[in-house]
Amino acid sequence: MSLKKLLKDGQIICAPGVFDPLSALVAETCGARTLYMSGYGVSASLLGKPDAGLISYREMVDRVRAICDVTSLPLIADSDTGFGGLANVRQAVQGYESAGASAIQLEDQVYPKRCGHTKNRRVIPVEDMVRKIKIAVDSRYSSDFLIVARTDARTEHGLDEAMRRSAAYIDAGADILFLESPESADEMRWVAERFPRTPKLANMVKGGKTPLMSDRELEKLGYQVVIHPVYLLGAAVAGMRAAVASLVEQGVELGEAADLEDLNNLVDFAAVWALDDLD
């Protein structure tokens, strides 16, 4: 089912943050219906570096394509600031759509950007972001490919400015609103009440500026999409730490790690063996 159709159905959309094809497969096999490609996760898994504008358009669109090659679930894909000016935004929109994404996320930070919920985030003039959104809308091949407009103005300029920018981005044609880093449940509710007819995205990050709320709580407030961008990455790091510590200390494989058969099933080794049998 398309992301646009899921939004029309009105049910809350839980989008775990994935960062490579393997994490996408894990999420799908565990019942996820929508995925979110996290820029933080891609930067960490590909480079071992922070989400600070270090990943290029080519690296990101290749990761979109790799994920969409192994799953048909709708994918909301982070594109940071659109990788530059208006020509870069057009390339990003058309590239992501062609690679199989269902939506592209564009934010109003200056380049190089900084991860949401972290310090030193600065935003471009609202007029410049409006132009980016209009180019994004005009550049997509199909209206089923959705534009997510994110503003990072709350932390530095306050909620009123973030609200003003949100209204401008919706007027410019954005399909989904992403007001980053509200600092209380009341702020989350005020955003939802201010924009009742626009699908709204909530970003849940443990240790971030926004209080953690359940998807159901956010649905009651009026949100339609909830992303969990670094939850799977954090779980993977915690699991690997425990596994390596156990291995180093005891010299034997213990714990809850997936065995070879489980891994073979996940990556569909059976399809390769079936081809081998044709020889």
* 199-251 tens-digit pLDDT: 999 999 998 899 999 999 999 999 999 999 999 999 999 999 999 999 999 99
Same domain? For 180 and 225 the reply is: yes
Among residues 10, 15, 19, which one has the least CA distance to residue 33? 15
What does the pLDDT average to over 165-184? 97
What does the pLDDT average to over 36-42? 96
Average pLDDT score over the chain: 95
Q: Is residue 126 part of a domain?
A: yes
State residue 120's pLDDT score: 64
- For 97-130, the pLDDT digits (tens) are 999 999 999 999 998 776 655 566 899 999 999 9
Which residue bears the tokens 């994918």?
75
What does the pLDDT average to over 16-26? 98
Number of domains in the chain: 2
Please state the pTM of the whole predicted model: 0.95
Taking a C-beta distance cutoff of 8 angstroms, is the pair 80, 53 a contact?
Answer: yes
Taking a C-beta distance cutoff of 8 angstroms, is the pair 12, 4 a contact?
Answer: no
Same domain? For 114 and 12 the reply is: yes
Same domain? For 69 and 202 the reply is: yes
Q: What strand order describes the sheet that includes 103-107?
A: 176-179, 146-151, 103-107, 75-78, 35-37, 13-18, 225-228, 201-203
What does the pLDDT average to over 176-203? 97
Q: Is residue 234 part of a domain?
A: no
Residue 256 binned pLDDT confidence (cut-offs 50, 70, 90): confident
Same domain? For 154 and 246 the reply is: no
The answer to whether residue 40 scores a pLDDT higher than 60 is yes
Same domain? For 32 and 98 the reply is: yes
User: What is the CATH classification number for the domain harbouring 194?
Assistant: 3.20.20.60
Structural domain range at position 250: 239-276
The answer to whether residue 31 scores a pLDDT higher than 60 is yes
Same domain? For 258 and 128 the reply is: no
Give the burial string for 218-233 (b: 16+ CB within 10 Å, else e): bbebbbbbbbbbbbbb
